[in-house]
Structure 1
Amino acid sequence: MSLISFGLVLVGAIIGAGSGYALHKVVSSKRLGDAKELSTRIIEEARKEAQAQKKEIILQGQDEIYKQKREIEREFKDRENETKTRDRKIQELSERVERKREQANQKEQELLSLDKDLTRKERKLEEKTALLDSKLDEQELKLQEVSGLTIEEAKERLFTEVEARTKHEAAKMIRQIEMEAKETANRKSQHIIATAIQRYAGDYVGEQTVTAVTLPSEDMKGRIIGREGRNIRAIEAATGVDLIIDDTPETVILSAYSPLRRQIAKMALERLISDGRIHPARIEDVVRKVEQELEVQLREVGEQATFDAGVHGIHPELIKFLGQLKYRTSFSQNVLQHSLEVSSLCGMMAAELGLDVKKAKRAGLLHDLGKAVDHEVEGPHALIGADLAKKYGEAKDIVHAIAAHHEDTPPTTALAVLVQAADSLSGARPGARKELLENYVKRLEELEGIATAFDGVAKAYAIQAGREIRVMVNSDNVDDDSTYLLCKEIADKIENNLTYPGQIRVTVIRERRAVGFAK
């Protein structure tokens, strides 16, 4: 390339670079101006918005200050009103205290005046007392001279007369109290008991320690005995019952203390007789089946008893024990029938007294539960029955009523006393129970002996099968008032020293007889 061409190229490049720079500068200047204008406008708008927000915040602050001011003013007024009310009450209390202080000052003046009067009267009383003492001393000396008795002797005689008079007054008071009590409590209690007895009618079955089984023929006795007595020994061993085969025609006697065992032996023997096959293996098999059947029957009997008494929710084991009571007796009275009667009596008396009838019936039905197992467990049947009831989930008041119905545990509830009363009613009903003649006679002799041991008693007679004792007193030694004291003392001694069903009436009779002869 030539130098001229190079120069032309160089000049063109320089001119192009200069024009490009100039154009770039113009464009940059224009953009810079636009940016400044935009920033100025943004700043102006931000300033205007800030001014608007400032004004709004100021207005909100002023409004809040106004509200707080109003609230403070209202609170101030409320406090001002409370202060005025409090000041008014304080003023009223001050006036009231001032009035009471004036009244106290007035009473103090009155008390001072009364104290002066009392002091003057005490001084006069002391003077009169001194004068009276001197007069009494003079009178005592004169009395000793006239009567010939010392002071101690006169006191002793006076105390003796006062003691005798006090006894008579006490006897009169006792008689009056008894009459008043009989007019209320005795009438009400007799009405309740009589109503309960009249509403209940029970059947009684006399049971003893033997059971008779009728045979179809006399030949059956030999088959029961068996070869060399093996059959009778097998029956006695399997049932625990003694078989008595004597000259009684077509009859075998089963003897055992337990009615339950006698029932098992009776059922087994009747089944063997009807079947005709009597040998040791067959006997054991029949006795085992009879025991199983009887257990089912006992449960059914117990369930029927609960149904008859209207008592529900009893544990199955307790129901079984109730069924066993069907084969237990007490003084020849069936215990299950006795329990049903006590349950009924408890319910009727509880209704009269406003107590829980269902709970009373339940306690009455279960009260003799221990008699089902008392031949197997040591202790009184009442406590045994309470333990059984507690074991199988009975309530505490039911357990206590069972334990306390014979005073083995002191009764602390009305329910326990109610069961005691119903139990006594059922057992003391005429004809309900039997006792041995020897024990009966012995009890009557002891009853008469207790009465005749008291001073002033001439004769005593036990009547009405030992349910009443009539005491004849010597009219010279016992007056009318003392008969009431004597009657109470005899009754207390009988109650403490004798055991008897029901109650014993004590009647003390005092009479004066005049005997003359016409000739």
Structure 2
Amino acid sequence: MDIYTIIIAAVSAVVGCVAALLLKGALGSKKLKDAGNEADKIVLSAKAESESIIKEAGIEAKDLLFKMKSDFESEAKETRSELKRTERRLIQKEENIDRKTELFDQREKEITLKEKELSGRDKALSRDEEKYEALLAEQKAQLERISTLTADQAKELLIRAMENEARYEGAKLIKRIENEAKEEADKKAKKIMATAIQRYAGDFVAERTVSVVQLPGDEMKGRIIGREGRNIRAIEAATGIDLIIDDTPEAVILSGFNPVRREIARLSLIKLISDGRIHPARIEDVVKKVGQEVDTAIKEAGEQAAFDLGVHGIHSELIKYLGRLKYRTSYAQNVLQHSVEVGVLCGIMASELGLKEKVARRMGLLHDIGKAIDHEVEGPHAVIGSKLAKKFGESPNVVHAIGAHHEDIPPSSVYALLVQAADGLSGARPGARKELLENYIRRIEDLEGIANGFKGVANTYAIQAGREIRVIVKSDKVSDEESVLLSRDIAKKIEDSLTFPGQIKVTVIRETRSVEYANK
């Protein structure tokens, strides 16, 4: 029974009840007729109302069914979406499981390989252990044979073995330490050089910055000082040089970094002493006159040097700076003579190489021009000289050669390398720096003799005028690590045995040669 039947039955019952009541109340004919009419109306109205109710109920039922259908479809859609999401998650999990399975399989293979490798290593270790045990047994046998020696002999043999092992380990340690020290080499080198300069400064300054003037008697010291020191103050003011009058008998010391001013002061003081008239006005006149004479001598010295080398067209100011080198020394070697010698050597080498001889001589003559003012200008004398040459119109090639002769700037021409070589030759040749030929030859022989005295040395060669010694060792007797220790031992022996200026470089060379012949 559906909802429509229930509604119709209910409406019919209501209508019947109403009709029965109406019929019961209308006993008269008229009333009965009226009641019948009224009942018909009511029935019709009830039918119409019931049909309306039925239609509304049908519409509501349809709406309810549509809503229920929509809800069902929405729930079904959500359920399908959830099922799809769940399906995707399951697929992803399945893929992850597959990947993990593959990874586990791969790791299992790797572990298997590592197990095999470890097994091989275990076998190799077992073989090595057996080998070491055999070696230990052999060493024990040797020790048993050694035990037949005296205690002193056994001790000496053991000490030698330990010494060789310690030297080998020490050589390796030294090599490692040297490699680590290279990172701070520059800082340590500067510190060492500064310490050396400080220790040597007293003698160096006294030799390079002081001139001594001999006096006819000690009473002349008072005349030089003058009343209340006016004469000595006038001399110092006019020359720019300090006068030191101390207990040194019959001598006055002139101290100053400028060699030209020091020479002017020396000559002026000699003239004043010989003349006997020493007072401020006379001092100024003599200093001025001597200064002019020294300037003339400087210019003539520069012109003579340029003339001797056949170098022309040098600026007059550069000629004056060149002449000032006459009063400058380097390692007791006169710088002007050294410059002329470098110019000659540059010209000779340039002619042998087919280069421009005059250009090379010009570069050699001017290469140390910066030393004329290096006490007045801060910086290396090579850089100062290159700037000075550029200022007075020298060509770029000459400027570069001057600046590069000590590699303050990288050399980029053959001429610059020629100047470097000639400078080294002039300073390193025997006798250049007050070293007798016999002493030079003896020092070379002593160097080679010290190196030849070490075990495993095949040949030794002293080069660079004794500044470097190259030691060739036997490769079958000296290892790479031992060669490091050997170079240190040789250097230490040289330091303890010889007296020499500067430093000596010890180079140990070890090589292995394999030679084979092809025959038919």
TM-score range, shorter chain: 0.3 to 0.5
Q: TM-score, normalised by structure 1?
A: 0.47
Q: TM-score, normalised by structure 2?
A: 0.47
